Amino acid sequence: MAVPLHFQSLAELAECLAKREISSVELTRAVIARTEAVEPSVRAFNSRDAADALAQAEASDARRASGQSRGPLEGIPIGLKDVIAVKDQPLTASSRMLADFISPYDGTVTTRLRGAGAVLWGRLNCDEFAMGSSTENSAFHPTSNPWDLTRVPGGSSGGSSAALAAGEAIATLGSDTGGSIRQPAALCGVVGLKPTYGLVSRFGLVAYASSLDQIGPMTRTVEDAAILLGAIAGHDERDSTSLRTEIPDYRAELAGRRGPWRIGIPREYFGAGLDPEVAAAVERAVEHYRGLGCEVRPVSLPHTEHCLDTYYIIATAEASSNLARYDGIRYGHRSTKAKDIVDLYFQSRAEGFGAEVKRRIILGTYVLSSGYYDAFYLRAQKVRTLIRRDFLNAFRDVDVLLTPTSPIPAFKLGEKSDPLAMYLCDIYTIGVNLAGLPAISVPCGFTGAGLPVGFQLIGRPLAEADLLSAANAYDQVHAWGRKTPRL
Amino acid sequence: MADTPRIDIEHVAKLARLALTPEEKAVFGSQLAGILQRVEALGRVDVNGVEPSAHAAAVNNVWREDAARAGLPVADALRNAPAQRDHMVVVPKVVE
């Protein structure tokens, strides 16, 4: 039986659309119908606007009919994590603080997707302000993993990974501060790419930790990730950390750059805490690369054990500063119980933020406060230098690093109530953000219980073309992201 | 490192302009003590002579043309204000 439209790859659908075998309206209708059918059990969306999506699809079909197609994304329904601004649509960051916020403008990635002809479809659930690894910190509702509805989809971009795995979008965008694209991609059996810091504009992204945040694609195949990255990457003067760099045709480069790659296996990423079934699936991926003639060698990233601590100082410090803007004055939740204007700040923030956000604001405020700044924040920034140096040293001898994405497969909803236990989910993804590197999670099989497993490839700064090509050398053969859950 | 990894939760919450319930103070206080105990391990890292990184790869002195251009229209900027009047945000009285 043919694969239903809502489970086809972006590349396949782009070809069908180009050949006029289907229209964008037909495709968008199929995705909407699928969403209506499975969303009661998956709950990946915070909101969606079917009429708006169909109007975009009609406009896309009209462009194509008049020879004005804008490329491979023309007419493709793409879901956006609810931390990315879409003009006139809700932007909640899955927080009570922004429950009624309507975005007055488009983020830069949104503008670029529109410019590429995509159909923007829905606002996808996530952990509140992208803080978490399970999407359970959403103020609205948890999201279920389509492979096992009693389990989490990962996080913070869990709505983006679950919607994609469930066939509720053809591709999605997530954001990644410590693993928030890659970990949910691994747990839901899809591809997730965190670009080099500065490759994709953060203008219109709700800020969590500004020196770590990046927006990136979540897709069914590595080829689709290459297509979507090409559409959103590139310099933007509205983000002062945006890099001025040539954007190659990532998709064309997939075929052009063939290995064999020198692959480094960081020994610190295979220690205690790694689930044996995850380790076995990742080892089989390593074997695949050996079979391609790649040289596989052990490497060491000696400061790995300090990544988590460094991250939770730097990320919370930046979060406490970024989230100071939510004071109940110009936008966001305003308390009706306040005695005076200062109390308005205290009460609005107490009512608007959830537990994890409060915890991180408190920790971040503490590490930046007088008497503790040098001991915690400044020291963490120095260790960050050492962590980046570890990676750059390793890249003298190898082209990419291969690791598990997550130490464990999807866990049960409600299973991890201790914040530290939750933080450990990101142990293999956090170093990449601290070092500003590109990394991709590629699905590489399932556990005996039928839960997806992913491996991570980490590349040199701005080496996305190489990274995607190396990932594709596995994915075009195995294509685990094409498997579909029974829902 | 600081000797005792204890957070004076009342003081820090005040700095963060965050009202906490007694239960939140108790729970966050013990959870954050655990986290601080963990991050104390950074004190063992030799950072002598290491420069701090504020960004992975810093981009400095970013300029754009100093050209006038349209900003967000007032109605759009005020669209999400909890209370407004005459193109202004309404707040509780600041001066008696």
Average pLDDT of the residues in A416-443: 95
CATH of residue B21: 1.10.20
pLDDT in tens, A6-56: 999 999 999 999 999 999 999 999 999 999 999 999 999 999 999 999 999
Length of chain A: 487
Query: Residue B95 falls within a domain, yes or no?
Result: no
Which of A197, A362, A461 faces B16 most closely, judged by CB atoms? A362
Residues in A touching B7 (Cβ below 8 Å): 362-363, 366
Q: Judge whether residue A77 has pLDDT over 60.
A: yes
* C-alpha–C-alpha distance, residues A414 and A151, integer Å: 9
Query: Residue B41 falls within a domain, yes or no?
Result: yes
- B48 at A interface, C-beta within 8 A: no
Residue B61, min C-alpha distance to chain A (Å): 9
pLDDT at B5: 58
Which of B9, B18, B64 faces A350 most closely, judged by CB atoms? B18
* C-alpha–C-alpha distance, residues A162 and A188, integer Å: 6
pLDDT at B1: 44
* C-alpha–C-alpha distance, residues A28 and A5, integer Å: 9
pLDDT at B2: 45
Structural domain harbouring B26: 1-45
pLDDT at B42: 93
Percent of chain A with pLDDT over 90: 97
Q: Judge whether residue A400 has pLDDT over 90.
A: yes
- Nearest chain B Cα to A361, which residue? B16
User: Which positions ≥6 away from B53 have C-beta within 8 Å?
Assistant: A381, A382, A384, A385, A388
CA torsion sign, A349 to A353 to A356 to A360? Answer: negative
Confidence class of residue A439 from pLDDT cuts 50, 70 and 90? very high
Take residue A118 and report the two structure tokens written for it.
Answer: 């995509």
Instruction: Provide ipTM, 2 decimals.
Output: 0.93
Q: State the CATH class of domain A5-265+396-482.
A: alpha beta
Which of B59, B72, B82 faces A104 most closely, judged by CB atoms? B72
Q: Which residue has the tokens 């970013």?
A: B62
A235, A269 contact by CB (below 8 A)? no
Take residue A365 and report the two structure tokens written for it.
Answer: 């405020």
pLDDT at A259: 82
Number of structural domains chain B divides into: 1
Residue A165, min C-alpha distance to chain B (Å): 32
Residues in B touching A198 (Cβ below 8 Å): 57, 59
* C-alpha–C-alpha distance, residues A428 and A403, integer Å: 7
Beta strand A191-194 pairing with A295-299? unpaired
Map chain A to HEC letters.
CCCCHHHCCHHHHHHHHHCCCCCHHHHHHHHHHHHHHHHHHHCCEEECCHHHHHHHHHHHHHHHHCCCCCCCCCCCEEEEECCECCCCCECCCCCHHHCCCECCCCCHHHHHHHHCCCEEEEEECCCHHHCCCCCCCCCCCCCCECCECCECCCCCCHHHHHHHHCCCCCEEEEEECCCCCHHHHHHHCCEEEECCCCCECCCCECCCCCCCCEEEEEECCHHHHHHHHHHHECCCCCCCCCCCCCCCCHHHHHHHCCCCCEEEEEHHHHCCCCCHHHHHHHHHHHHHHHHCCCEEEEECCCCHHHHHHHHHHHHHHHHHHHHHHCCCCCCCCCCCCCCCHHHHHHHHHHHHCCHHHHHHHHHHHHHHCCCCHHHHHHHHHHHHHHHHHHHHHHCCCCCEEEEECCCCCCCECCCCCCHHHHHHHHCCCHHHHHHCCCEEEEEEEECCCCCEEEEEEECCCCCHHHHHHHHHHHHHHHCHHHCCCCC
Which of A102, A211, A344 faces B54 most closely, judged by CB atoms? A211
Mutate to test the interface with A, among B3, B45, B78 (most CBs of A within 10 A): B45
- Nearest chain B Cα to A330, which residue? B81
- Nearest chain B Cα to A433, which residue? B56
* C-alpha–C-alpha distance, residues A239 and A168, integer Å: 31
* Chain mean pLDDT for chain A: 97
Report chain B (96 residues): mean pLDDT per 10 consecutive residues: 68 97 94 89 94 85 87 93 95 86
Q: Which residue has the tokens 């044996």?
A: A276
pLDDT in tens, A118-146: 999 999 999 999 999 999 999 999 999 99
CA dihedral A41, A45, A49, A55 (to 10 degrees): -100
B42, A385 contact by CB (below 8 A)? no
pLDDT at A339: 93
Q: Judge whether residue A257 has pLDDT over 80.
A: no
Active site residues of A: 81, 156, 180
* C-alpha–C-alpha distance, residues A443 and A456, integer Å: 9
A65, A74 contact by CB (below 8 A)? no
A127, A94 contact by CB (below 8 A)? yes
Query: Residue B61 falls within a domain, yes or no?
Result: no
Query: Residue B71 falls within a domain, yes or no?
Result: no
- Closest C-alpha among A455, A390, A363, A433 to residue A196: A433
- Closest C-alpha among A69, A79, A59, A85 to residue A6: A79
CA torsion sign, A344 to A346 to A350 to A355? Answer: positive
Residue B68, min C-alpha distance to chain A (Å): 15
Q: Which residue has the tokens 């960004």?
A: B55
Query: Residue B13 falls within a domain, yes or no?
Result: yes
Domain map (residue ranges) of chain A: 5-265+396-482
pLDDT in tens, A266-291: 999 999 899 999 999 999 999 999 99
Residues in A touching B20 (Cβ below 8 Å): 350, 358
pLDDT in tens, A339-368: 999 999 999 999 999 999 999 999 999 999
pLDDT at A2: 87
